[in-house]
Structure 1
Amino acid sequence: MRLLGVGMCAAVLAVGVLVAPAQAAPAAPVPSGPQADAVAALRGAHWALKDTGKDSRFRGLAAVSRSTAWVAGSRGAVLRTVDGGRSWRDVSPPTAVAEKLELRDIEAFDARRAVALSIGEGEASRVLRTDDGGATWTETFRNPDPKAFYDCLTFFDSRNGLAVSDPVDGKFRILSTRDGGRSWQVLPGAGMPQALPGEAGFAASGQCLVSAGPRDVWLATGGGSAARVLHSADRGLTWRVADSTVPAGDPARGVFALAFRDRTTGLAVGGDYRTGEASPRAAAVSTDAGRSWRQASAPPPGYRSGAAWYPYTRGTALAVGPTGTDVTTDGGRSWRPLDTGSFDTVDCTPDAGCWAAGEKGRVARLERP
């Protein structure tokens, strides 16, 4: 969506307990195995800032492991760490830097292979790929349509992926790759429902288009009369649409990020991105692959632009935004504050490495006591 140049400066408070017992609540069953280990690891966890030496706004984040992560952001910046954030290598594509492209999403398969998306009208929307850790980049797609504006990327595996554009001629446009982002084709629009007037995606965190498993993908929208979630079970060929409970009705409101734990259980977060504007009902949960959505009973207190499930737990997830981080331990039904620092996006890895990134070069990893 053609907005989101906003930011808010807030100091990180590296405090807070991620998993705390609810007052007067009955004792929950004690988890066992990997889930018990994950819950125990989160007690007392906090964000630890990792100095990037940059002041770019990093809305693109690809966490590979606790040690390896990529971030992409304003003015063509791309950084990579392979030592848990102790040091960062500037691997920015020279053309992206020269043209000051806005890199709003990055997807990485490992420490060497990554695909980045720049946003904007017409030719500003591009896809770049590296196979050598960012030493060199190849532009694999440049949008030829002045009416298209690409927002987000997602990959099902190391070969199959999609990118989404705001509606063109009344429908969201889907771009597909079958070779890891080396080439791209626009998918037919016959299976895409009509967009609402003013409806679009938000290029806020690289999470307006997300996938789970080999074929399922979801698209978050806002700006129209309703904030909707579209779901495809065939890699973007056909879609079904559902209204979320997140308020819309304004170009600045809607669902900004989705996170699916598997092909049935998902979270939606968003609100109104404008500083000082209220964002009630800014979170919802689905347990039927996005066919229906229930409002969170205790949502985050403000706009949230990113979300991620914590691995090996059934109900623990994080949501981030310019005014802080919130955590849920009951599958998104209720959220509680974790931190007041500003972040735009969050991502977690199978080895329990959770990373967050945002304005003024801020990148952090979730640390245990």
Structure 2
Amino acid sequence: MKTLRMAALAAGVLLAMSQLVPAQATGQHGPKYKWDLKPTGSASQFRGLAAVNKDVAWVAGSAGQVLRTVDGGRHWENVSPPGQTLLFRDVEAFDAKHAVILAIGVGEDSRIYRTADGGKHWSEAFRNTEPTAFYDCLDFNNSRDGLALSDPVDGKFRIAATADGGKSWKVQSTKGMPAALPGEFAFAASGTCLVAGPGRTAWFATGGGAVPRVFRTDNGGRTWKVTDSPMASGGAAGIFSLAFRGPLFGVAVGGDFEKPTEAVKAASITTDGGRSWKLVAADKAPKGYRSGSAFVPWSPTTVVAIGPSGSDVSLDGGRSWSQFYDGSFDSVECAGHGFKAGCWASGAKGAVARLSVGH
């Protein structure tokens, strides 16, 4: 059952958590990366994270809590939907006022809410009515077109789509969706099991089956093609996060969340838009299971990955990684341009941080 997997994931992460103290890259050459913690005053676990730029970010997490900062994390505003105790696992924000959040769970616990006034008011945009569906993550190609991913229903992954910025959602036909493998599902770990790319492209990643797989669409979710991955798979293993730089270059990270300090076939790369994947060797992979990943805005080949046992950076598009932080995060996201560009991370016990780069 997905609820059991959720419990196992939460337990595994809590057991693996290390002390949240700043750490930086130890290499003598190149930039040094460091997380600067931005106290939120919250005890929630924030797996939902949306970076708008270095000043504006949203986090969403347990106990129905949603926070927003517009000053680089110096202050956080509680903008939670009133009266909710849902488990929020993803948030996508277009700016300081417009955001969409996803609550996960079986049946009607999977919901989508939208705000257009910075969280002062929220409207329910979607409520799942299929008892066996379980929505894991969502993403947008632009300010209008977005997709949300559910675990398989009747043997196929399910997609809900919006064309009006998240105001309304429609469950798509599964005629163009390849059949799921026995036991296959997606991980609601960091909001990046599904990512949208340029145009109408999108990808989602899986685990739990005989092999982890990556699904790709070029037409906004109407039809999908699927590719096997060389990464680890199993009841607690698979691909937890995807990140793409444009339509061709991408990374996948994950591993086994029951072995958080081991790099169990934990990373791979693609140079052809997800049509094929190459495994990163264990000695060059992230130093443990990783649940989130993101390309930084200021470098075409720099990627950051985070997890319960640390954070890693790759300067060569995911081909090799070095650890720069030994604390716990669940999610990472980067956004913005020029001097407004920024990367954020979030996790358990209200942890949020912003990435700084030195020399």
Shift of 1:214: 1.8
**What SS does the aligned partner of 1:56 have?**
coil
Change (3 A) 1:246 1:85: same
Match of 2:131 among 142, 146, 161: 146
Structure 2 length as normaliser, TM-score?
0.93
Shift of 1:245: 1.5
Shift of 1:312: 3.3
One-letter amino acid of the structure 2 residue matched with residue 280 of structure 1 = V
One-letter amino acid of the structure 2 residue matched with residue 245 of structure 1 = P
Residue 343 of structure 2 is aligned to residue 358 of structure 1 = no
The 1-side partners of 2:305 and 2:186 are apart by: 18
Match of 1:56 among 10, 29, 44: 44
Residue 274 of structure 2 corresponds to which residue in structure 1? 290
The 2-side partners of 1:276 and 1:160 are apart by: 35
Residue 165 of structure 1 corresponds to which residue in structure 2? 150
The 1-side partners of 2:27 and 2:168 are apart by: 44
8 A Cα contact 2:261 2:287, kept in partner? no
8 A Cα contact 1:125 1:150, kept in partner? yes
One-letter amino acid of the structure 2 residue matched with residue 102 of structure 1 = L
Residue 65 of structure 2 is aligned to residue 81 of structure 1 = no
Shift of 1:95: 3.3
The 1-side partners of 2:159 and 2:122 are apart by: 23
8 A Cα contact 1:307 1:346, kept in partner? yes
Residue 56 of structure 2 corresponds to which residue in structure 1? 68
8 A Cα contact 2:260 2:308, kept in partner? no
Match of 1:263 among 247, 261, 283: 247
**What SS does the aligned partner of 2:114 have?**
strand
8 A Cα contact 1:17 1:44, kept in partner? yes
How many residues get paired?
A: 345
The 2-side partners of 1:277 and 1:200 are apart by: 23
Shift of 1:276: 5.5
The 1-side partners of 2:343 and 2:66 are apart by: 19
The 2-side partners of 1:275 and 1:76 are apart by: 29
The 1-side partners of 2:23 and 2:289 are apart by: 21
8 A Cα contact 1:176 1:187, kept in partner? yes
Which range moves more in the overlay, 341-350 or 115-124?
341-350
Residue 321 of structure 2 is aligned to residue 313 of structure 1 = no
Within 5 Å, give how 1:96-245 maps onto structure 2.
Answer: 96=84, 100-245=85-230
Residue 10 of structure 2 is aligned to residue 5 of structure 1 = yes
The 2-side partners of 1:20 and 1:304 are apart by: 24
The 1-side partners of 2:109 and 2:344 are apart by: 28
Structure 2, unmatched stretches of 5+, are none
8 A Cα contact 1:174 1:187, kept in partner? yes
The 1-side partners of 2:247 and 2:219 are apart by: 12
Structure 1, unmatched stretches of 5+, are 22-38
One-letter amino acid of the structure 1 residue matched with residue 315 of structure 2 = T
Change (3 A) 1:18 1:66: farther
Structure 1 length as normaliser, TM-score?
0.91
Residue 34 of structure 2 corresponds to which residue in structure 1? 46
**What SS does the aligned partner of 1:360 have?**
helix
Residue 24 of structure 2 is aligned to residue 16 of structure 1 = yes
The 1-side partners of 2:276 and 2:26 are apart by: 28
Within 5 Å, give how 1:239-254 maps onto structure 2.
Answer: 239-248=224-233, 250-254=234-238
| Cα RMSD, aligned residues only | 1.4
The 2-side partners of 1:218 and 1:20 are apart by: 36
One-letter amino acid of the structure 2 residue matched with residue 284 of structure 1 = S
Change (3 A) 1:19 1:312: farther
